[in-house]
């Protein structure tokens, strides 16, 4: 690994073309290969083997379903952020802790997981992943991007991100949910008497 000043950090969406990079990252030491980021995507996730979870994610990518973004140092994948349309996270349909609060017809994307290789942590990679995730979701038409950070110590906090990360990126808090509106409100034209139409 190069030192932080020499890092060639980029963020790219995961697609069929860089599927091998996604697999390589998830098969690396310390990566969440026990879930392959299927926990919220598949109602029966706990019944699947690791190989079946990997296959399910690969199938989603081959079908063109958005799943997230990868951070690269040069050409080496070093980090991951799960960002996708909320409806692709099937288990969120019944979630009491992460219920949908936006109208069903408002394009809403959800961020649910981060992973950065240990040797690259505390170097701003998570921040860049979040920036890349927001840019990707916006480019795909997201009007609201939401996240559910976990601020206590432990595995969940490692993978869901800390609220300070989202706050610095301009997200606003609504209970446990943090959100960013990406659409611009259009002002209604004023009537001649100065009131809104």
Cα–Cα distance measured from residue 28 to residue 42, given in angstroms and rounded to the nearest whole number: 23
Residue 10 and residue 122: Cα distance in Å, rounded? Answer: 16
pLDDT of residue 186: 40
pLDDT for 109-161, tens place per residue? 999 999 999 999 999 999 999 999 999 999 999 999 999 998 765 544 458 88
Q: What is the reported pTM?
A: 0.86
CA distances from 159 to 16, 48, 106, 151, 167 (A): 24, 20, 26, 11, 17
Measured between alpha carbons, how far is residue 62 from residues 50, 57, 88 in Å?
A: 18, 9, 15
CATH class of 7-94+106-181: alpha beta
Kindly list the distances between the CA atom of residue 194 and the CA atoms of 73, 118, 185, 186, 187, in Å, as whole numbers in the listed order.
Answer: 55, 58, 19, 17, 13
- Position of tokens 């394009």? 107
């Amino acid at each position: 690994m190069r030192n932080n000043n020499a890092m060639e950090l980029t963020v790219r969406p995961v697609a069929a073309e860089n599927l091998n990079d996604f697999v390589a990252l998830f098969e690396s030491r310390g990566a969440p290969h026990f879930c392959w980021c299927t926990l919220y995507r598949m109602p029966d996730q706990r019944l699947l083997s690791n190989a079946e979870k990997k296959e399910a994610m690969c199938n989603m990518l081959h079908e063109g379903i958005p799943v997230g973004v990868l951070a690269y140092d040069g050409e080496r994948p070093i980090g991951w952020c799960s960002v996708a349309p909320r409806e692709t996270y099937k288990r969120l349909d019944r979630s009491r802790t992460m219920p949908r609060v936006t109208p069903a017809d408002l394009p809403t994307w959800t961020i649910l997981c981060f992973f950065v290789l240990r040797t690259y942590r505390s170097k701003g990679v998570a921040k860049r992943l979040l920036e890349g995730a927001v840019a990707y979701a916006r480019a795909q038409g997201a009007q609201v991007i939401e996240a559910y950070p976990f601020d206590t110590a432990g595995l969940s906090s490692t993978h869901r991100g800390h609220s300070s990360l989202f706050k610095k990126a301009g997200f606003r808090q609504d209970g446990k949910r943090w959100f960013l509106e990406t659409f611009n409100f259009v002002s209604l034209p004023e009537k001649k008497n100065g009131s809104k139409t």
